[in-house]
Amino acid sequence: MIKLIKPLKPFIWLIGVIFILLYAQAMADLSLPGYMADIVNVGIQQNGIENAVPKAIESAEYEKLAIIMMDEEKARIDSGYVLLERQALGESEYKKYLEDYPALADISLYTLKAETTEEIDELDAIFINIIPIVTGIEQHGLAAYGDADMEIPEGVDPFTLLAQLPEDRIQEIRTAAIQFAEDLPDGLKEQATVAYIATRYNAIGLDTGSVQTGYILRVGLLMLLITLGSAAASVAVGFLSARIAAAMGRNVRRQLFEKVESFSSAEFDRLSTASLITRSTNDITQIQMLMVMLFRVVFYAPILGVGGVIKVIGADQSMLWIIAAAVGLVLTLLIVMMIVAVPKFQSIQTFIDKLNLVTREMLSGLMVIRAFNAQEHEEKRFDVANADLTKVNLFINRVLVFLMPALMLIMNGVMLLIVWVGAHQIDAGTIQVGDIMAFMQYAMQIIMAFLMVSMVFIMLPRAIVSAVRISEVLETDPVITDPRQPQEVLPEKKGVVEFRNVSFRYPGAEDDVLKHINFTAMPGQTTAFIGSTGSGKSTLINLIPRFYDVTGGEILVDGVDVRKARQHDLRDRIGYVPQKAVLFSGTVESNIRYANEDATDEEVKKYIRTAQAEDFVRSKENSRSLDIAQGGTNLSGGQKQRLAIARALAKRPEIYIFDDSLSALDYRTDKALRRALKKETADATVLIVTQRVSTVMSADQILVLDDGEVAGIGTHKQLMKDCEVYQEIALSQLSAEELAQ
């Protein structure tokens, strides 16, 4: 997992912003069920009456309530209300109150003056117990509170009689009544209180319908604003997550590309090209997708889940066991599924590598496949790789297809269980309908939080495999590196290439490919290498620009061991034409300027002319702007070789390396090209690998390689006299008369 975190360091502050937005979104989402419960409980069932504190009440009813209160309670209530009497009010103030309370014209009222939440809560704690007592006395008399023997004459108000009792008797009745009220379920007390306040509002002419409508609109508008805020936070998180994931993918892709550029041939032999392409595309895409899901889901789900549990515990713990059972079922299902599916996820990338390898080989060798009528064989190879990948994907998809219905079944079962248990509690008066609805919403949020996390953990194994594969490339130390203290070249040895007892074997091989090679190539001279196939010619040439490092001896360029010089400085002195000409998509001009961006138009023309490419370049429309397809597929082998030579000439290096780069040319073009090159490279060191004797006959120095060893060294004439291997090669290609010229 740490491998996935490292690339995120540049975006720490943006991730912090995402955390803040996710917290705000979670808090908004968690508040909505509570407001929904308020609309049902308060707005619908309680007619918009929020608490047990009346906004206004008749003075007679106020006095009834005061009889039951203790002295400190009465003092607190008195401090929270003000008496409204016409004679005590100004005319304008009286008219204003009269519009709200029409009954003020006939009776005096008490109106609420307390405004702060703390004051309202204190009054609510008193009224919630006192009002049910008053309603109980009105309905059942004093017998309900322990005075069954007290007879109340018909037509006598029990509160009038209660007020006439001695203080100790009132205290007994009040104590019994308060104890009775405290033992009542909260739901029943709220219902009794709301019914009483609604009756009092109707009595004073207050429109309870407007109170209800106003409450529902107010809470509904607040829910709308919270929802919009949550949506805005969600959009912002999605935007930032996508930006971070894309930027991280861009950075990792660049790091991967730069790392691959530093690889030597040994690293390419170990990490295949197909695998490197998959790692820089598909693997990075997997990590990007996971990052988006991490920010949008994994960070959000725990906040939502924990917050939902806290909300449920704070609201009602009686049904908490239902959520615990549901979470247990979900976790069990996910654990079983991950045990089954995770190993398959880990194998997907391997199968993708295999499929890419087969596809790449088929496309690059399409002409050979057609020539040998091997289409059916390649189709079978592709079908095997494709079938392996398909089987894994089908297995994983089948697991996921089973997962969703199972989770839906669990969630729907939880909803039914909540409704069944909640219905009994509503019937007992211990909970309200709105609370059950809110509980259902919290249960959904908690279960969905686990579901969201599970979906990410399904993606995680594949992303971790991708991260490991990418890290494997990034953490690979190239075999060929620059020295800590590089040596500077010697100016008096410009262009000198010297092999001193050089031996080389490929990584993992048991035998040396080259054995004890010694020679010196001087500026102004052409050194040619010839030998049978597999004798080590190209391997020897590739040691000079350090595509591989020698395993024995040393190679000096300009008097410095190539292993002690900077790779950039070394290769800046070399113009390299590979055995297989490589061109890049673009134009003829862009390919030549690849070696020297500052080359003028006249110089480009000269290099084309020297490379004997002028004839086919001119024959095309737009001349130097001729489009080159990817890999130069719209050119012949000889044309590609000539343009590759022109590119090397544009570099104007000290050392030219031609690795069998004239093999696709006809004899006439070969001869003309060598004559033109002789003039262009007169002051440079020229190294030519070839199998054509005609190409090396005019060389100043010829090295004959046989099974990795120098079988002979000298000019053409010397070798014809002294080197049997050279003689065999020469006589197999040319007649004795031609060789004698």
- Residue 273 maps to which CATH number? 1.20.1560.10
Cα-based distances in Å from 131 to 13, 71, 147, 214, 343:
55, 16, 19, 24, 66
Report, as an integer, the average pLDDT of 703-707: 90
> Which distant-in-sequence residues (6+ apart) come within 8 Å of 295 by Cβ?
15, 18, 22, 237, 240, 241, 244, 245
Examine residue 240 and state whether it is found in any structural domain, yes or no: no
**Domain presence at residue 524:** yes
Q: What is the mean pLDDT of the chain?
A: 81
pLDDT, one tens digit per residue, over 175-214 is: 766 666 666 666 667 777 888 888 888 888 887 788 888 8
Residues 6+ positions from 46 with CB-CB distance below 8 Å: 190, 194
Residue 241 belongs to some domain of the structure? no
Is 139 part of any domain? yes
In-domain check, residue 42 = no
The structure tokens 């037509």 sit at 155
Same domain as 153, residue 283:
no
User: Do 295 and 396 lie in a common domain?
Assistant: yes
Both 87 and 173 in a single domain? yes
Q: What is the model's pTM?
A: 0.70
The whole-number pLDDT of residue 156 equals 61
- H/E element, 28: helix 12-38
| Residues near 379 by beta carbon (within 8 Å), at least 6 away in sequence | none
Residue-wise pLDDT tens digits, 137-166: 776 666 555 554 555 555 566 676 666 667
Q: Each residue of 713-726: pLDDT tens digit?
A: 998 888 888 888 88
pLDDT of residue 48: 82
Q: In this structure, is residue 99 part of a structural domain? A: yes
In a domain, 455, yes or no: yes
- Please check whether residue 263 is in contact with residue 235, taking contact to mean a CB–CB distance below 8 angstroms: no
What CATH number is associated with residue 550? Answer: 3.40.50.300
607 & 730 share domain? no
**Co-location of 513 and 565 in the same domain:** yes
Cβ atoms within 10 Å, residue 597: 8
C-alpha–C-alpha distance, residues 219 and 685, integer Å: 88
Tell me, yes or no, whether 243 lies in a domain: no
State which of 474, 507, 526 marks the end of a domain: 474
- Between the alpha carbon of residue 142 and those of residues 137, 145, 153, 157, the distances in Å are 6, 6, 12, 11
**Same structural domain for residues 591 and 508?**
no
> What would the mean pLDDT of 307-333 be, rounded to a whole number?
78
Same domain, 614 and 711: no
More confident residue, 311 or 524: 524
Which phi and psi (to 5°) does residue 664 adopt?
Answer: -95, 5
Q: What percent of the chain has pLDDT over 90?
A: 10
What whole-number distance in Å separates Cα of residue 614 and Cα of residue 623?
9
- Per the structure, the count of domains in the chain is 4
Q: Which residues of 429-443 are buried (b: 16+ CB within 10 A; e: fewer)?
A: ebbbebbbbbbbbbb
Residues 565 and 599 in one domain: no
Domain that holds residue 545: 491-573+653-740
Range with lowest mean pLDDT among 6-20, 86-100, 288-302, 582-596:
86-100
* Whether residue 511 sits in one domain with residue 381: no
Q: Which of 43-52, 618-627, 669-678 shows the lowest mean pLDDT across its residues?
A: 618-627
> Do 709 and 594 fall within a single domain?
no
- Among left, alpha and beta (phi > 0; psi -120 to 50; other), residue 377 is alpha
In tens, the pLDDT along 506-539 reads: 887 888 899 999 999 999 899 999 988 888 888 8
Residue 95 CB burial class (10 angstroms; 0-12, 13-18, ≥19): exposed
Q: Which residues pair with 497 in a beta bridge?
A: 521, 557
Q: Are residues 399 and 272 in the same domain?
A: yes
* One domain for residues 543 and 563: yes
